[in-house]
Amino acid sequence: MHTNIGDNMYYLNCFFIYSILGHLMETITALITGNGFKSGFLYGWWTPVYGIGAVTILFVSEYLFKNLHMHRFWETIVMFFVVGIVLSTLEALGGILIEKIFGIVFWDYSNQKFHIGHYISLEMTLVWGVASVIFVYVIHPLLKGLIKKIPAWVTIILILLFLFDCTKTFVDKRKS
């Protein structure tokens, strides 16, 4: 797999755009449901697990499925299962890391029927599978052109802000 600086900037921009959109989606959902949930553990308007998940989905769909030359139907079915499992694993790792580093449990699926601990449930794996199919075939194609037009200086500013946010969050939460 060959990448260049333009590819790296593209994937960084995908990370930031989808981290921000994920944060907005969770914030709006919390407002609608009235549960007072705060998306993410950082101060800024991004939830990195969504950005990491989106970039993971893109790598899987663009590099794995592109080279398999599968019929679209089978590609969709395989993507549903593979990405659902990959994102559930990512969600579990993120939850465990946040809990170990900051002593916070941000989400807990133990009230769902088919859960494995706090961080994984069959129900959410199915949600991630459906979301990944919608993401690959609907959302990302709509935003791809816009993401490619983001200037490098904007990406650099986002990187600096994100690193500052991560550092401040880590220092502040370790103090408390």
Count of Cβ atoms closer than 10 Å to residue 153 Cβ: 8
Q: Please indicate, yes or no, if residue 173 is contained in any of the structural domains.
A: no
Q: What is the pLDDT of residue 142?
A: 94
Q: Please indicate, yes or no, if residue 14 is contained in any of the structural domains.
A: yes
Q: Please indicate, yes or no, if residue 171 is contained in any of the structural domains.
A: no
More confident residue, 14 or 59: 14
Q: What is the pLDDT of residue 39?
A: 64
> What DSSP string describes 85-116?
HHHHHHHHHHHHHHHHHH-------TTSTTEE
Q: What is this structure's pTM?
A: 0.81
Q: Please indicate, yes or no, if residue 168 is contained in any of the structural domains.
A: no
> What average pLDDT does range 13-36 have in this prediction?
86
How many domains does the structure of the chain reveal?
A: 1
Residue 46 pLDDT exceeds 80: yes
Q: Please indicate, yes or no, if residue 21 is contained in any of the structural domains.
A: yes
Q: What is the pLDDT of residue 2?
A: 43
Q: Please indicate, yes or no, if residue 147 is contained in any of the structural domains.
A: yes
Q: Please indicate, yes or no, if residue 174 is contained in any of the structural domains.
A: no
Please write the tens of the pLDDT for every residue from 147-165: 999 999 999 999 999 999 9
Torsion of CA 44, 92, 14, 46, to 10 degrees: -10
More confident residue, 103 or 10: 10
Q: Please indicate, yes or no, if residue 61 is contained in any of the structural domains.
A: yes
Residue 3 pLDDT exceeds 60: no
Per 3-state DSSP, what percentage of the chain is helix, strand, and coil (rounded to 5)? 75, 0, 25
Question: Residue 30 belongs to what domain range?
Answer: 5-163
Q: Residue 121 carries which DSSP code?
A: E
